Amino acid sequence: MFDFLGNVLKNVVSKPATRMYPAEKRQPMKNTRGALGEIDINTCIFCGLCARRCPSNAISVSKTDRSWELNRLKCVICNVCVEVCPVKCLHMDEAHLAGLFTREKVRRIGPAKPAPAKKAE
Classify 107 as helix, strand or coil: strand
Q: Are 86 and 27 in contact (CB under 8 A)?
A: no
Query: Strands, DSSP E only, in 2-58?
Result: 35-36
Each residue's pLDDT tens digit, 69-85? 888 888 888 889 999 99
Sequence letter at residue 100: L
CATH fold of 27-109 reads Alpha-Beta Plaits (3.30.70)
46/37: higher pLDDT: 46
**What was the pLDDT predicted at 56?**
93
Q: What is the mean pLDDT of residues 28-55?
A: 83
Q: What is the pTM of this model?
A: 0.61
* Backbone conformation region of residue 46, classed left if phi is above 0, alpha if psi is from -120 to 50, else beta: left
The DSSP string of 33-85 is --EE----TTT-----HHHHH-TT--EEEETTTTEEEEETTT-----HHHHH-
Q: Are 70 and 82 in contact (CB under 8 A)?
A: no
**What was the pLDDT predicted at 88?**
92
* Percent of the chain with pLDDT strictly greater than 90: 17
**What was the pLDDT predicted at 41?**
84
104/35: higher pLDDT: 35
Each residue's pLDDT tens digit, 104-121? 456 667 676 665 666 665
Neighbours of 90 (CB within 10 A): 22
How does DSSP classify residue 95? S
**What was the pLDDT predicted at 117?**
63
